[in-house]
Amino acid sequence: MASEAKDVGILAMDIYFPPNCVLQVYAEGPARPTGGAAAIAMLIGPNAPICFESKYRGSHMAHVYDFYKPDLASEYPVVDGKLSQTCYLMALDSCYNVFCKKYEKHEGKQFSISDADYVVFHSPYNKLVQKSFARLYYNDFLRNCSTVDGESREKLAPYAGLSSEESYQSRDLEKASQQVAKNLYETKVQPTTLIPKQVGNMYTASLYAALASVVHSRHETLAGQRIVMFSYGSGLTSTMFSFMINEGHHPFSLLNIANILDISKKLKARHVVPPEKFVEALKLMEHRYGARDFVTNQDTSLLSAGTYYLTHVDSKYRRFYDVKGDGVATAMSNGH
């Protein structure tokens, strides 16, 4: 019988965020400025420096209309912002509860966020990340974890009797929990927020961009530490899991991962454009969404070599592309 691979996890990873475009787009309103764009590639295998702790995984699913795309004639989603935030926190509570129970079953001791060196969240916008970490601290208070100090207990005591639904809507609890969790947030979460705060909501890539952020900034001291991850997708499905970090071995080492990520260089390579230009681009997208028989302006001045770009769509909705090279473009049609 084949033996089970050990230390399975992330051997290598890279991230790409376009220098001048946004893929996660929203209609006019408060959600629009949160949109971003990125892609993550990861090599998964044994003997990895970022090792998956499969014993502790906790998941939660529910059927809700918090974020969805019912209008096929529009690129934009329908977003119920208040419901979506409540769903996120509800899923976080559920996943954390399962995660803690599994940890306690295997390790024979209570788990709290103090047992995580870093906590990484799916990051639609940073304020939700702050609320989420504070929510975990509130959960530790309700579970009577010894890591919650006396002063924090005193400040959270007025909210001990709230129902789950009441706690999701309580602004006073939100404020109090963020206040008592602030110092832990600075050490355990802040280092994970670099890319999400700079780039915006990347959907699936948001969680792993946050992981890339902490690898970028802390790779020299990560060995032997635990990173707890919370993944969330509207609709909804969510999972909390964790990684245990080690140095790895060349070429699959933390240092090599950080060097390949090269986050600082990629952030600096982006192009700043005024908001008016962004709005103008979205109006053009709205006009052309589902359209046919048009030619793009084919301005490639801000594209890097190797980028595929749309040149035109014909009367039969067939799409044609070129590839930007060193002065040479290669024609493509429908991806072939």
The catalytic residue positions are 122
What contacts 173, CB < 8 A, 6 or more positions away? 138, 156, 159, 162, 167
Cα(35)–Cα(123) distance, rounded to whole angstroms? 11
DSSP letter, residue 191: G
Cα(85)–Cα(79) distance, rounded to whole angstroms? 11
C-beta atoms surrounding 280 within 10 Å: 12
DSSP 299-311: --TTPPTT-EEEE
Alpha helical stretches, state H, the chain: 81-107, 126-142, 150-156, 164-169, 171-188, 194-199, 204-218, 254-261, 263-268, 275-288
Q: What phi and psi values does residue 289 have, to the nearest 5 degrees?
A: -65, 120
Cis ω before 236 (30° cut-off from 0): yes
Q: What phi and psi values does residue 44 have, to the nearest 5 degrees?
A: -105, 135
| 39-78 as b/e: b if 16+ CB within 10 A | ebebeeeeebbbbbbeebbbebeeebebbeeeeeeebbbe
Residues within the annotated binding site for CoA?
Answer: 84, 127, 131
List Cα–Cα distances, 38 to 35, 147, 219, 252, 267, in angstroms. Answer: 11, 37, 21, 23, 12
Residues within the annotated binding site?
Answer: 84, 127, 131
* Locus of tokens 């954390």: 96
Q: Are 194 and 217 in contact (CB under 8 A)?
A: yes
Smallest CA-to-CA distance from 227 within 74, 298, 323, 217 is with: 217
Structure tokens at 175: 């404020």
What contacts 95, CB < 8 A, 6 or more positions away? 58, 59, 60, 230, 238, 239, 240
